Amino acid sequence: MTRHKNYDPKKHSVTVIEATRIAGGASGKAGGLLAVWAYPNNIVPLSFKLHQDLAIEHGGEETWGYRRVSCGSLEATGRERSELERLGAQTGVSLGKRGGENRKASRGKSKDLELPKDLDWVMPDLVKSYEKMGGSKETAQVHPYQFTMSMVRLAQERGVNVIVGSVTDIEYTESGPTPPPATPPLSDSMTPKGPPSPTLSSVSVNSVPPSRSSRRKVSGITYTDTQSGTSCTIPATTAILAAGPWTSKLYPSAPISGLRAHSVTITPSSPVSAYALFTEITIPPTPPSPSSRHNSQPPNIVSPEIYARPNNEIYVCGEGDMDVAVPETTADVQIDEARCDDLIAQVSSISDYIRLGRVTRKQACYLPILSVGGSGGPLIGETGTEGLLMATGHSCWGINNAPATGKLLSEIVFEGQAVSADIRQLDPRRIL
């Protein structure tokens, strides 16, 4: 918002309200992959370029780990968990020696498969196929936590106020019964009157938004201060709802659900090359005991994603689950230790760099999923209530599409419509 040409800190007031802490959810725990082939394709090219521009302008390579990477799809046969245990891997703790002894074990030449020469931290004899998905021109990465914190810091330097508090109500005033069109054209956007309002990024709201035929407009935001516990109300002419999987708590009719995703970070035993890998690993079943040979089990096929990061770190995430409902705040997210241990074993089964490395973090977060058939999200734009905008449902591409989302919203606020990309298909009013 503060980067728009019409923003004037002497005239405009922007406030971010966060329920627990900045980057406490997926904004700090996601993978951080950036790709020109991500979705939706109407905003991805803009966002990919903006990531590069921001990194150049603010030293993103040093500050938030921005760099170009190679990306590939890898199919492999992993080693049994029992074999890893015999080799000394213990999931959940330090995975062994730190040093370069695994380089000799991992390096080798596959007779029938040509892996990239610098992808030497995956055991070639276990790889069945490899397909390039993108090079340094098509894929990049950031460290999500560092990127998000840097964006907030830069915004504060431009006058943005950050409040840690849980929103309890959105205040409205009546402005007349003029229903919005069922399918709004791109140019049919709200023109704000007065200063832009707080940008919302919080939870715990019980209020029901006005109906589609109402012309009420936003007049304020009520929240509970996290430190003092007191209730506060601040005036607002524009509210941007950017609450991710908590969107439906703030706006119950929004078809946004939460998908829990577990991940781990590992310091490999030696530095690894810059690759993002989408894998399919076949884990052989543990051989049955002599007394139960007739109860053979099929192999287990898993698909962890592996992202090598700067500063000698590997990030691994697995498939999502909906076993536990979205909690009240990011601080209440439940971590399933067994799922994290499974991830460690899966990727250790194809890489001694990982097997002999050190586990540094086990974590989980919720991704905002748009639960409407035929639409992958996100929702960016007006809601049909004057002054209430939405930016949510980004699924696994939230960090990828964050710069474009922010730019487009600033255009809607200051110019009355999005001008940098055609986002009519992402208009919230089409499905709300």
Question: What are the backbone dihedrals phi and psi of residue 378, each rounded to the nearest 5 degrees, phi first?
Answer: -85, -175
Instruction: Please classify residue 355 by burial: count the beta carbons closer than 10 Å to its beta carbon, then call 0-12 exposed, 13-18 middle and 19+ buried.
Output: buried
pLDDT at 90: 42
In 315-382, which residue ranges form alpha helices assigned H by DSSP? 337-348, 352-355
Position 289 scores a pLDDT of: 61
Per-residue tokens: 281: 């690993």
pTM above 0.75, yes or no: yes
Q: Considering Cα of 321, then 431, then 392, then 375, what sign does the dihedral take?
A: positive
pLDDT tens-digit profile, the chain (432 residues):
999 999 999 999 999 999 999 999 999 999 999 999 999 999 999 999 999 999 999 999 999 999 999 999 999 999 987 778 777 644 333 222 223 333 333 334 444 578 999 999 999 999 999 999 999 999 999 999 999 999 999 999 999 999 999 999 999 999 765 554 444 443 333 333 333 333 443 333 333 344 444 589 999 999 999 999 999 999 999 999 999 999 998 899 999 999 999 999 999 999 999 999 999 999 988 766 666 555 567 889 999 999 999 999 999 999 999 999 999 999 999 999 999 999 999 999 999 999 999 999 999 999 999 988 556 789 999 999 999 999 999 999 999 999 999 999 999 999 999 999 999 999 999 998
Yes or no: domain 70-134+258-367 corresponds to CATH 3.30.9? yes
pLDDT at site 220:
96
pLDDT at residue 373, rounded to an integer:
59
Which runs of consecutive H residues, i.e. helices, occur in 231-314? Answer: 247-250
What residue type is assigned to position 340 of the chain? C
Cβ proximity of 380 and 409 under 8 Å: yes
The amino acid present at 173, given as its one-letter code, is: T
The pLDDT, as a whole number, for residue 87 is 77
CB 50 within 8 A of CB 296: no
- The pLDDT, as a whole number, for residue 195 is 36
Sequence-ordered list of residues with C-beta below 8 angstroms from that of 316, at least 6 positions apart, any chain:
263, 264, 265, 266, 304, 305, 306, 307, 343, 344, 346, 347
Topology (CATH) of 15-67+141-254+371-430? FAD/NAD(P)-binding domain (3.50.50)
Query: What is the separation of C-alpha 124 from the centre of its chain, rounded to a whole number of angstroms?
Result: 31
Which of 152, 191, 149, 158 is closest to 13 using CA atoms? 158
> Checking DSSP bridges between strand 217-225 and strand 231-235, what pairing results, if any?
antiparallel
Cβ-based burial of 183 (10 A; exposed 0-12, middle 13-18, buried ≥19)? exposed
Residues 6+ apart with CB under 8 A from 267: 98, 312, 313, 314, 357, 358, 360
User: What is the per-residue pLDDT for 377?
Assistant: 85
What amino acid is encoded at 43 in this protein? I
> How many other CB atoms sit within 10 Å of the CB of residue 153?
14
Specify the 3-state DSSP secondary structure of 256: strand
Distance CA 155, CA 231 (A): 25
- Would you tell me how many other CB atoms lie within 10 Å of the CB of residue 293? 9
Q: What is the dihedral of CA 213, 429, 188, 40, to 10 degrees?
A: 180
Kindly list the domain boundaries of the chain, sorted by start residue.
15-67+141-254+371-430, 70-134+258-367
What is the per-residue pLDDT for 89? 47
Tokens 């990477």 correspond to 69
